[in-house]
Amino acid sequence: MEENKERIKKKKKKRKKKNYLLRLFLVICFCVASYFFLTSSLFDIQKITVENNAYYTSEQIINIAGAKTGGNIFAESTGKMKSKLLLDPYIKNASVSRSLPSGIEIAVVERKEAAYIAYRSDFIIIDNDGIVLRQASVEPKITALSGLTIKKIDPGKPLEAEENAILTSTLTMLKKMDEQELFFKKIIISNVVIKAYIYDNLICEATPENLTNNMPQLKEVIYDLFKKGIKRGVIKMGSDGYFAFSPLPE
């Protein structure tokens, strides 16, 4: 009886070992087949699409990301592509994803040029969050800011000025201006009165707080003057939406 039991145990062990080896063989075969399938030409990158770009062309975005066609879609790191994009000052956010079997999709959120500050012989361009976008030698056609003393310029990081409080209020004003679809050619900044140039000879004078808080009302006043063909004068803005207009002589 004991001998029979031992034989049965040995047979069971042999069967288990064979089953284990068979399962291992099947797993290895599956892994090998999967590898050859996933590395086949079916998954070679054939198309790269870019969405939401305005400042950069699609080709420029692809180049910044370092994305290329031809390589295997699983061998390319979408995380590295995103990291490269976020190093560019103009790109606020980005996402890079695979579109199986052979596509890469890139979506970006770009920063928009809002204003510039003259600096030596150049122009420092910022967005309405105060992020330095670039330093240009050609004067851009956006709002000019004066009255700030620049301390530090680092592309992709906030502009640093000696007048931090004034800079903060100015950035808030730029955001309000963008919301109301208003454009000032030039803004001369101070703690007391801000001069915002609508045209070369049409100026709005107000405290920083009043100008920021009464932007919708100012838009109505400017539109009313425009309908009357008036492009010269001074709009003085008081508290509680009070406006006074003084024409300038020709």
d(CA 32, CA 28): 6
* CB proximity list for 122: less than 8 A, separation 6 or greater: 135, 136, 137
* Higher per-residue confidence, 15 vs 52: 52
158-188 pLDDT per residue, tens: 999 998 888 888 899 999 999 999 999 999 9
The arithmetic mean of pLDDT across residues 207-234, rounded, is 91
The tokens describing 137, both together, are: 């030698």
CA-to-CA separations, 129 to 122, 126, 159, in angstroms, rounded:
21, 8, 9
Compute the Cα dihedral for 61, 65, 71, 73 and give only its sign: negative
CA-to-CA separations, 1 to 4, 5, 7, 8, 14, in angstroms, rounded:
5, 6, 10, 11, 20
Residue 9 has pLDDT above 70, yes or no: no
- Cβ contact 50:58 at 8 Å: yes
Tell how strand 103-110 and strand 115-119 pair up: unpaired
d(CA 115, CA 220): 23
Compute the Cα dihedral for 237, 238, 240, 242 and give only its sign: negative
Residue 139 has pLDDT above 60, yes or no: yes
Q: The whole model's pTM is what? A: 0.81
CA 44 to chain centre: 29
Query: Average per-residue pLDDT in the chain?
Result: 86
pLDDT of residue 165: 87
